[in-house]
Amino acid sequence: MKNILSAAVVFLSLNLFGQTKEDSIQFSRISTEILNKGKSYTELRDLTKNIGHRLSGSEAYEKSVKWAEQKLKEAGADKVWLQEVMIPVWERGKESLKIKAQNGKWKTLKMLSLGNSEGTKGKDVSGEIIMVKSLAEYDKLSPEQVKDKIVFFNYPFSQSYVQTFKAYSDAAVYRSTAAALTAKKGGKFAIVRSLSSAFDDVPHTGAMRYGDSDKIPAVAIGNTTADELEALLKSKKITAKLNSNCGMKGEKLSHSVIGEITGNKDKSVIVVGGHLDSWDVGEGAHDDGAGIVQSIEVLRTFKNLGLKNNHTIRVVCFANEENGVKGGQQYGKTVKENNEKHLFALESDAGGFSPRGIALEMDADKINQITSWSPLFLPYGAYDFEGRYSGTDIYPLKDMGIPTAELVPDSQRYFDIHHTEEDTFEKVNRRELLLGATIMTQMIYMIDKNW
């Protein structure tokens, strides 16, 4: 009796919002197909274990281009091609960070140079550490107080936000600007507390920028090391010594990978995608191998179920999201130059954890239409359509007025491993990954049918 009543409630909800029983049946077919026969998990294992991390410009990234091209063909794409992209090349090289108290011994700290940072060209650079806990505190320091010092920006990832991406956005300004701020007051290099929700000693890398400042090094340390350093600085003068070989190595020609199934009604395009590159630590499993294999799964499922798509469904595996967004920018530029009509773009770039919903960045009428479909998604665990943002790679499409969206997985564990050596295949759960692909496919199905 309980099941009958639940079914009746769902059926009445669907009728109320103008949906049909056929949609509910198709949602079930999509879920059954992906959860039983989906290849996302095995493909992610292949990508992460046989290629590994895929920093733009690296040999591994070029291997992943060939990999994605082959997987799109195997998934049944009518057409697969490589889109040329000029990308910045950054290399890490050997690096070390040591500290010591006055008359003490050097102690090596776990650290990672921030992405796009310049290094010390293999030379030791040392100086006294001064610590600040906020930008406001740093702003009060005079150039004389900072000159020839190492500035430690010890701003913690806030545990107060339930939505961890808010905590990430709050703290990200320190990673992106620490070097530039330090340079403008004459400091030698910057140390940043990692953007991490975990209580461990794993350093997190990620992109930084210089603007018009001098290009001095910037490194990140884990939370445990940050706490220990803070405690030392309360009672002692601490010297830091950095030796690093990282730096930009110009540009090179690379590629995004694109595959599509042609529309049966018109050539208007619906995009689903993620970014193929990753940072040069870990395996890039959650960020963003998950988004890549989920997007390919969408195309495969349409083909395997014989769903006759009205519009062209295009999978884009974007190049260079992590340290330049050149793939997304080039894709948007090409769309504009070719005057190619796009209806919708959905990105998965927030990890392969259980899906909770989809964030929507579009006009109110379209938001209302999509949220009216929520009863269809609820049985699959997706209920959150409140976010008003979308993926970084599809921002150029958003700026052209194209409706954009992003898959919203549960984020509570994501920033434990984000941009670290811990982002490995073993951290991904098969069912969670496939449920994300299910929600994405269901959304693309509804967009294709109704727009």
CA distance 427 to 416: 11
- Determine which helix (DSSP H) or strand (DSSP E) holds 169, and give its type and residue range: helix 164-184
User: Please, which residues bridge with residue 130 across strands?
Assistant: 151
List pLDDT tens digits, range 241-298: 999 999 999 999 999 999 999 999 999 999 999 999 999 999 999 999 999 999 999 9
CA distance 120 to 311: 52
List pLDDT tens digits, range 68-105: 999 999 999 999 999 999 999 999 999 999 999 988 99
List pLDDT tens digits, range 143-182: 999 999 999 999 999 999 999 999 999 999 999 999 999 9
**The domain made up of 94-248 is a member of CATH 3.30.70.920:** no
Residue position matching structure tokens 């960020």: 287
Q: Assess contact for 229 and 99: CB atoms under 8 A.
A: yes
DSSP letter (8 states) at residue 426: G
Indicate the domain borders of the chain.
Answer: 35-86+251-450, 94-248
Single pTM value for the model: 0.95
- DSSP result, 314-381: EEEEES-TTTT-HHHHHHHHHHHHTT--EEEEEE--S-SS-EEEEEEES-HHHHHHHHTTHHHHGGGT
In the structure, what pLDDT confidence band is assigned to residue 392 with cuts at 50, 70 and 90? very high
CA distance 336 to 355: 32
Q: Could you give the 3-state DSSP secondary structure of residue 148?
A: coil
CA distance 294 to 308: 20
In the structure, what pLDDT confidence band is assigned to residue 19 with cuts at 50, 70 and 90? low
Interior angle at CA 200, CA 195 and CA 202, nearest 5? 60
What mean pLDDT value characterizes the chain?
Answer: 96
CATH annotation of 35-86+251-450: 3.40.630.10
**pLDDT over 50 at 3, yes or no:** no
